[in-house]
Structure formats: C-alpha cells, structure tokens
Amino acid sequence: MPKKYLILTPLCHNRILKDFKRVKYLGGWCLNVDDSDSSEKTIKYHWDDRKKLASDYIFLDGLYEEFLRKMSRTLNKKHKLNEDNEFWRIIIGPWLGCFLHILFDRFEQLTKAIKDEPEIQIIAFKNLVINKPKDTQDFAKNFIPSDYFNQFLFQFIAESLYQNRISYVTLEIEEAKFGEKYHQRTNTKSFFRNTFYKLINRLAKNSRSFFYQDGLNLNSKLRLYFNERSIPFIGSIEKEFESENFQNSGNYDLDSFEEIAEFLVNKLIPLSYTKLYERYRSLGINKFPTSPKKLFTSLAYFQDDIFKIYAAEKKKQGSIFCIFQHGGNFGTTPFAFLEEHQIKSSTYWYSWGWKSEKFDNVIPVGNLRTKKTMREKSFFGSSRNKLLIVCMSLPRYSYCLYPVPLGPQYIQYLDFLGNFYNSLSLETQKKSIVRLHRGDFGWNQDKRWRRISKDVVFDKNSNIYKSVFSSKIVVVTYNATTLIEMFFWNVPMILLLDEKYWELNEESKIVYDKLKKYSIFQTSPKECADFIDSIWDDVDTWWYSPEVQKSRKAFLEIYSKHGDFKKL
C-alpha cells in the first residue's frame, strides 16, 4: 500500500496533492473552501477536548512564569540591568505567553497526528529560513497568521523529534510573502495630520498624567483629560528596523517540549528586546512625558514595545500604571491569558463593572468606551425590518488561550451558524443580513457563507450603527464587545453561542442563565431560529417587557455599568 503523507500547512497545497495521493491534513487551517469534503482526512484538533484545554492552560501558566524568570535573568545580563520579573512582565509578557501557547499547540497537534497515524510521513521543505520578529507588533501582524511561520514551527518540531519520518520537497517562496515591512502612507492629508500630532505631543511631554491609546469614547476622554490636567499623546512613534534571520540546521539535541520551547524562545525573541532594546527605550524616553504620576492605556499593553519599555521604567520609578478594559468577554471566562497579564502587570485595572475575587487591583469603574449615541426611541418604526447576524473571525492558527473557538474550530463555529440560518423560515431568511468580521484571516468568510446559502445577503455598511438602526433584531454570535454594545444601547438582540466553545466561569453562569430564562441567551440553533420566527411580528413586546429589561439591566450592572469617574 502506498505511503500516507501529512500536510502541515497550505503552503504549496496544490503541487503536493499532485505528487502525493494519499494525504492527511494536520488541521482545518490546511483546508480551503473547496476542501470541505476532506474533513475526514483531517487530524482531529487536540483542543476539541475542552478538559484538556483547561488543564493545558494551567500547565502553560506555570511554564510561562518559569520562562519569565529565565528570560528576566537573560535580558538583565544582556543589557547590564538588575530589574525584577514584574519589570520584564510588562515588556516581554504578552509575546512570551502567546509564543508558548502557540508552540505548545503546534507541538501537541503534531504529536497527536503521529499517535493517530503511526506510519505517516511528514512533508517538509528544505532550507527554511525565518526572519526574527522585529517587535511584538511585527509578530502579531506578520507571524501569527502566516503559513510560512507556522510551517517553520511544525517543521522544527518534526525535525527535532521525528526526523526519520520526514520527506523533503523543494519549495521556493517569495520573500515578500513573509515578514513584510511596515509601510508609512505619505500624502498631503497624512502630512498635515502628522504635523498636528507632533505639535500636540510636544505639549503632552509635560503632562502630569500620560494618556496613550486609551480607547475611551470622546466624552470620557475630554472629562478625564480635564480632570487630570493632561494632554494625550496622539498617534504612534515611527520606527526604523533592522532584520535578522534564523535558519534551522536540524542539528539540535532537543527531546521534549520544554527543551524545544527554551531553544526557540531564545532564537526567535523579538529584536526590540535584544539588539533594538536601547533604541526603543530611547524613543520612549525622548517622546513621552518625563515624570508622569499616572500612565493610562487600554491597547498599548500588548503590541507597542516602545510604550511597554517606557511604562516598565516609569512604574519602577513610582508612576501609577493604569489599564482600562477595552472590550467584552472580560470577567466572564474561567481563564484568559491576556486578561490576567493586564491585571498582573498594572497598578490598577479598570473594569466595566465586574469585580475579581482573585485580584484586588481590579476596580469596577464602568464602561468608558462604548459610545452613548443611540436612544431607545430610535428603534421604533416600520424601517426596522431586518435580522442582523453579527459574526466574528479569529486566526486560522490559535495564538493565545481563552475559551473561544480556537484555530480550526472556527469551521465548527460557522457550521453552527449555518444550522441556525437554515432553520429560519424562508421569509425570515429573506430579511436576514450577515455582517462578516472585517478580519478574514484567510478563512474566505464570504465563500463559506455562500456554501451555507447561495442567497445569503452581506452587510455592506462600514459602520455597524447604520445596520443596527435598520434591524428589527440583532443576533450576536460571540461573547465579546458587540454583546455589550447591544445591551448598552438597548437594542433587541439575542446572544447565540455554542456552549462547547464559549465556556463561562461560575459567577458568569449565574448571570447568563438569567438571560437564558427570557430567551435573550440561546445555545440551540434550531430553538433560536424558531423563537425568532415566533416573535418576528412583535419583537418589541418581548424585548421591552419588564422581565427582559430587568435581566438586561442586571447584566449591565455587572459587565457594562455607567462610568464612575470618582473611582479613577
């Protein structure tokens, strides 16, 4: 019988199929829209076992803290510093945690494939060379979603542990497809905008409180800037990059995940933490306020290495480091790495209303982000005649652990929505509009929806507000910011989730179960479709009933209450 071969990623997919007839796909990320009939040839995803996901998170959390200690010592030695782990947590924590989660996922999936298919041969490419990430932004933008980067990781693991199973082929890849450079737009409009930003930022240099990528709505911004007697820093700092690459020689004695992880963490650590560290540090010192009493951000904690180095130094010098909650999902899940990172690295973490038994620095300030531009009376009238289905998308390869459809589980997420859509009456389907997520990540969302229904209509509004205004009811299909916004604006809506992939913590289950009681939260595609059909002619009587409104307000009191500036 001919040998069976394992395809790791979609790279050179068509050519490989011509050369190797009997194949298995390592995961759903290998499949394009037309490969839906190949699901039986795909290795089952190891995190389909959600108990394993929870236990793996605990393991990785401990490993992360161990690696944080190791890398703190390494970077202190390299830069001749004597900083503690908490200093380096602010700077390298997001990248280090995500990289370990990424690598462990690739390791476990490849291990599962070998276990499931003991005789399988692994297709690999000769002479893979990879650029090192320039910084965390480069890593998030150009590495996490990249087939080339993930091919490199899978192949490195295979060459370390399963060398005798590898069948090499030659692959030529254009350099432009990977590690793309940042492009600065240059036109008259951007020139005047950047000139204005520079003038404002010079004034911000002397601010007693530093606001940077704070993610607040306009009213909150103005009030806080006035209260703090501060001018915000606007825009970002331009950077020039050097590059450095790494080629796997295959001559490493690595026998376990921990050994592979330690090797690759040191080899692929972003240059902003090594050879470019002092340059990034100088940019922050020169551009940002000299002696701020407080630092406020919502988004810069993750990708902005210039800010993170600056924030770590200022916090060490006594500045109060504050992070605002920047979206939904927070406080509702049993585990979430980036949520815990934000809380652990900040002096105060301002939630939209929920409290934490684990962390005493979580302050329930309220929602200072969601725009208060809609009123209940806006939702009355005959113009509201659509069913708006709001969808999400995530990278084809998982990058960070929290309870959502990870990596290839996005395919099951779409199947779940397809069951819902096709369970609606034909009359309701004709009035339905599907709003795709703006980040496609290579899933070809529109084509996959066309397979669900060739008559599906997509939302073309760039601004979700316009779509909401014309909708009789909104179906939110993920547990995140859109859910909060619909509740906040008192929009008739239903939250539809596949409970297998959207686990809740014990405190949240109590709140969400109350939403279930009045059909606001549903977990069955068929029952949700039947309910919508049953209330279609009189949605408002259901939504504005005292019971539904009471449940909505109880939810908001915990997860999106009105902002209390006195707690800042």
474 contacts: CB under 8 Å, gap ≥ 6: 387, 388, 390, 468, 486, 491, 492, 493, 494
Asked whether 501 and 413 are in contact (CB, 8 A), the reply is yes
pLDDT confidence of residue 177: 43
- Model confidence pLDDT, tens digit, residues 142-156: 999 999 999 999 999
- The answer on pLDDT for 194 being more than 90 is no
- Banded model confidence at residue 176, pLDDT cuts 50, 70, 90: very low
Query: Rounded to the nearest 10 degrees, what angle do helices 277-287 and 305-316 cross at?
Result: 70
Confidence of residue 36 (pLDDT cuts 50, 70, 90): low
Question: pLDDT averaged over the chain?
Answer: 91
- Give 179 or 554, the one with higher predicted confidence: 554
Phi and psi dihedrals of 482, rounded to 5?
Answer: -60, -40
260-277, pLDDT tens digit by residue? 999 999 999 999 999 999
Longest dimension (CA), the chain: 76
Residue 82 pLDDT > 70: yes
**Quick one: average pLDDT of 450-477?**
94
Confidence check: pLDDT of 375 > 80: no
Kind of pairing, strands 320-324 and 432-435? unpaired
pLDDT attached to residue 417: 98
| Residue 1 pLDDT | 57
pTM for this structure? Answer: 0.94
Per-residue pLDDT tens digits for 293-321: 999 999 999 999 999 999 999 999 999 99
Q: Residue 193: its pLDDT value, please?
A: 67
**Rounded-to-integer distance, Cα 440 and Cα 502, Å:** 20
pLDDT digits (tens, 9 = 90+) for 405-433: 999 999 999 999 999 999 999 999 999 99
Q: Residue 501: pLDDT above 90? A: yes
pLDDT tens string 6-24: 999 998 665 565 566 688 9
Domain ranges within the chain, ordered by starting residue: 5-181+242-273, 376-565
| Percent above pLDDT 70 for the chain | 90
Confidence at residue 377, expressed as pLDDT on a 0 to 100 scale:
46
Q: Does residue 325 have a pLDDT over 90?
A: yes
Predicted local confidence at residue 191, as pLDDT: 63
* Apex 525 CA angle, 520 and 527, nearest 5: 65
Distances in Å between the Cα of 427 and the Cα atoms of 233, 386, 422, 453, 521 are 51, 11, 11, 14, 23
pLDDT tens for 487-497 read: 999 999 999 99
Residues 454-481 have a mean pLDDT of 94
- One of 1.10.3720.10, 3.10.129.10, 3.40.50.2000, 3.10.20.30 is the CATH number of 376-565, namely 3.40.50.2000
Give the span between the Cα atoms of 103 and 455, in whole angstroms. 40
Average pLDDT over residues 90-114: 98
The residues, ordered by sequence, that sit 6+ positions from 241 with a Cβ below 8 Å of its Cβ are 134, 138, 181, 182, 271, 276
Angle formed by the axes of helices 85-116 and 50-79, nearest 10°: 140
